[in-house]
Amino acid sequence: MNKYLKLTLLFIAIWFIASVINGLLSTLCITFLGDKSGSEEALLSFIFSFIFSIPFVFVIWISGMISMSTLKTYDKVYRLLLYETFAVSIAGAFLFRDLFKEFNGAAIGLEVSVVVSAVTTIMLFRKELKKINTN
């Protein structure tokens, strides 16, 4: 299988896992730090995690494709993807800041959950990224 197709499938898995982690962290933040708690907020945090993360995952996927074709060593590709994921997730958290303000005490926790879920997921898939890049 082509390494670019493998990378595309891997980023679909990364997107899914990151959205699940973000949904769980968001639900915990809303429940424990915010004014609201309930199944509606949990469901909304999972839906928003999946839908609103699509453009940001697309940016990282494009960057991964470009870096996979231009950078030759795995360490450089992984480091670049990790830095870009960190930067893009911070940008995403700032873009949705107004949406997060609805959850009074949990706004900062929701912003942190976006960054933590994105970076954690890239780190979880480090071995798979290495397999794709070395083949």
Check: CB of residue 36 under 8 Å from CB of residue 10. no
- φ, ψ for residue 53 (rounded to 5)? -85, -10
pLDDT (average), residues 18-39: 79
The answer on pLDDT for 119 being more than 90 is yes
pLDDT (average), residues 103-120: 82
The pLDDT of residue 1:
67
The answer on pLDDT for 113 being more than 80 is yes
Helix pair 74-95, 107-124: axis angle to 10 deg: 160
CB count in 10 Å sphere of residue 43 = 12
Tokens 């670049």 sit at which residue?
Answer: 80
Q: Which domain holds residue 69?
A: 3-134
The pLDDT of residue 38:
63
Residues 6+ apart with CB under 8 A from 12: none
Count the domains in the chain: 1
Of the pLDDT bands very low, low, confident and very high (cuts 50, 70, 90), residue 110 is confident
The pTM (predicted TM-score) of the whole model is: 0.84
The pLDDT of residue 3:
81
- φ, ψ for residue 73 (rounded to 5)? -100, 145
